[in-house]
Chains A and B, each alone.
Chain A
């Protein structure tokens, strides 16, 4: 039993490390910055982390396949802008608006997935093009004078409570459970890892690679749309470019959460940890009133350093260490 636990701990050490780092950073920050540990501040951090974790859920799936989704910023913005303008800030239209928005997300995901699998456009180029096309589409459908206030029900997605638990936390918990079940216990999850590890081998093993990829991109767009709804509730107003920050943040959260940018390695639980860690860090940056520039630089450095660290060949390092030790002995 103990040995099994040890093994599990060792395998998930990076996962534990992310949460430990987030917790440690938060503890240090709340001790040194007054008000950082207050209930309101924790609330805000959790809310921001939830939105980021939701947006990064689909990105996790896509990065696990070895791809990347750069169309998330405008998927998030599209979902928020369309919802605000179609409902005119009123609850009564929500029953048909939300299905329409989610359906639109499915369509976007299908186009991404089909472009990548059928037309064989590399994921970066396909999703980057999709981001720009979504920008164009939304600007056409939602002119600048359109309604941009969030309906009250959407606002309660961000600020409401169900059974005494904040709704965003509930949404995060549900998405965490669903994603974990999907990744760990569903055939889809297994195949996702297989495709990310070795696409050709999984094709020979009978995996329908195209279908897996398309499903990953569809889920990515849908999670983006859901994140857009919660974000709309959080900001109360939809505006152009409201998703832009998530271009950097989602990728950073996934990679900090221990996923390999090459695909095949990582988990959504890590991404949630990465989202919390990044949100704590960014709120610290905001405490020191460093602007948008610092945030961008920070995300860039975080991505680069974590990819670099994850790709340093541990085997080679270990051999090098051993060789050093033997030389000392010989001497």
Chain B
């Protein structure tokens, strides 16, 4: 049976109420870029921008997966474990060039599996997303220690091309960023993307309208862990070494990037473009902390505050709109 959605007119990606929330990441990002440019004019050179893209690319990949999961109303804490696991595996099994590329392809082929297990436990066993992905975080993070007991190991420099090479004079990470941005934005507009948002808006409504909610959830978590595995590979290609707990810091950062980019923690609302901006906001924040000469730990504190501030902003804006609508109709 074809889904009812297929016959509906093309829906709006951004809910009208969300316009304010959707504009904020652009404003914040622009403000940070200008601020950094004032503090350090050379931040606008191509080299510096490329460097920032390099740093942010990993977070962008993870955060887009997190965005899709947040859109279903869930949360994916397991990405920390998946990234660590892939990185530890890379540093222990990819020392030669052939092994590096062979395993990379293999990992990209099976990268969706951890997420599919999460999704199945959430959709079919009806367990809470956070407890399933929390447990998966521990399990994959634990498996990482079997590949690599402490930070070290080596990755074949030939894989480094993925992170630092160039095609047609443009740095690979910029190509990857563009590719990911376009595919993610397109995916959000396909039927699958709409189904993901529908499940997050109201799972019961979605089910009644013929959306395969369980399959959608499995697909979403699978996508998230595939992107995390990909991020782990890019991370390994950049660092050319391993660390069995490297992924843990990306859990909060991915949620922060998505939320700063306007994605709701309660499902159904958000865009991938916003998330990418959110990720860059976090990077530029770190740069500004560095340029101001503050200890780097301040960037941890600021990113936490920015996350909490964004959640509150969304709440205030959405509640404000809801209130106005109610009084208008009254």
Q: Which residues of A contact B (CB under 8 A)?
A: 68, 115, 119-122, 124-126, 128-133, 135-137, 139-140, 248, 251, 261-262, 291-301, 303-304, 307-308, 311
Contact = CB atoms under 8 A, between A and B. Distances in A.
Contacts of A119: 308, 311-312, 315
B46 interface: no
B301 A136 contact: yes
Interface string B128-157: 101110111111011111100100000000
Interface size classification for chain B:
35 or more
**Taking each of A124, A139, A262, which has the highest tally of chain B beta carbons within 10 Å of its own beta carbon?**
A124
B139 A130 contact: no
Given A130-B304, A261-B131, A297 B265 contact: no
B148 to A, nearest CB: 10
Given A128-B251, A129-B252, A311-B126, A297 B143 contact: yes
Interface in B266-323: 266, 295, 297-301, 303-305, 307-308, 311-312, 315
Given A136-B301, A294-B142, A301-B135, 16 more contacts: A68-B130, A119-B311, A124-B75, A125-B265, A125-B307, A128-B252, A130-B304, A132-B249, A133-B301, A139-B297, A140-B298, A248-B138, A262-B128, A293-B149, A296-B142, A300-B134
Contact of B298 (A136, A293, A308): A136
A132 B126 contact: no
B321 to A, nearest CB: 16
Nearest to B266: A122
Contacts of B244: 293
Contacts, number: 121
Closest A-B pairs by Cβ, 7 of them: A293-B145, A296-B142, A300-B138, A136-B300, A297-B142, A300-B139, A304-B135
B131 A307 contact: yes
B127 interface: yes
A115 to B, nearest CB: 6
Interface of B: 75, 77, 121, 125-128, 130-132, 134-139, 141-146, 149, 244, 249, 251-252, 255-256, 259, 265-266, 295, 297-301, 303-305, 307-308, 311-312, 315
Contacts of B266: 122
15 contacts: A120-B315, A121-B308, A121-B312, A125-B259, A125-B265, A129-B252, A129-B256, A135-B297, A136-B298, A136-B300, A293-B142, A293-B145, A296-B141, A297-B139, A311-B126
Contacts of B137: 300
Nearest to B251: A128
Contacts of B256: 129
A120 B311 CA distance: 8
Nearest to A294: B142
Contact of B307 (A68, A129, A291, A299): A129
Contacts of B303: 132
A129 B302 CA distance: 10
Contacts of A307: 127-128, 131, 135
A136 B303 CA distance: 10
